[in-house]
Amino acid sequence: IILAMAGLDYSKVHEPDYDRDRLKQPTRITEYVKEISEAVYSRWKDKDNLRLENLRGLENVERARQVYYDTDGILDNQVQSFKICNRCSGLNTIKSRSDTGYKVLAITIPRDACSNCIDEGYRRYRNPSKPYTHICLQDRVNDKYHIK
């Protein structure tokens, strides 16, 4: 790796105890990866239709998840909410509560946000629905970051 990074010839370098047959990936794994890749690519190509089909009539989409930060021993419970907008890519909000007692509201206004979503993002930042230890707003339209 170091020779390659330095732009030097490494064609004569051989790894000790390297056995190509022993380290070969099983065919079933390769085939499974191909299947998954094809399914993901197919969904990506059809993303506009899938969005219409799955999000029609919805104003928000939510997902909850838990993240454990093993280096610090922190368990974080998050609820991510996407405001669906017909004029732009919407508004992203994350409500986070950790087992250490912190409650964070994080709001992201995307680069292509319409004026309504920009206003809504700032409104949520100024007037949160409940108390938080930290409130963060990332305004990607105006390249601004606010925290309180």
| pLDDT for res 18 | 84
Strand ranges, E, within the chain: 60-69, 74-83, 91-98, 103-109, 134-139, 144-147
| 22 vs 70, residue with greater confidence | 70
pLDDT in tens, 56-76: 888 999 999 999 999 999 999
For the chain, which residues make up each domain, given as ranges? Answer: 59-147
| pLDDT for res 64 | 97
Give 103's pLDDT tier (boundaries 50, 70, 90): very high
What pTM did the predictor assign? 0.69
